[in-house]
Amino acid sequence: MCEATAYLLNKDGDEEVLLADVDVIEPTEGGKVRLVSIYGEQKILPGRIKSMSLVNHRVVLTQD
């Protein structure tokens, strides 16, 4: 499978799993990011993409 795991970089610099099996990542209004898993689970949060590694199936988000 080609889905990614999305992580949120917290204020201490640690990565916390935000959502697994992510299929859709898209920007929304107001500087938010919408994530949708292959199971239909959805999360919308303020933030931006810090890094992506598609080979490693990882997306790291940060909140400013």
Domain boundaries, the chain: 4-62
Residue 1 is predicted with a pLDDT of 65
Report residue 47 CA to chain centroid gap.
9
32-33-37-42 Cα dihedral, nearest 10 degrees: 0
> Which residues lie below 8 Å from residue 52, measured CB to CB, with a gap of 6+?
4, 58, 59, 60
The per-residue pLDDT for range 1-53, each reduced to its tens digit, is 679 999 999 999 999 999 999 999 999 999 999 999 999 999 999 999 999 99
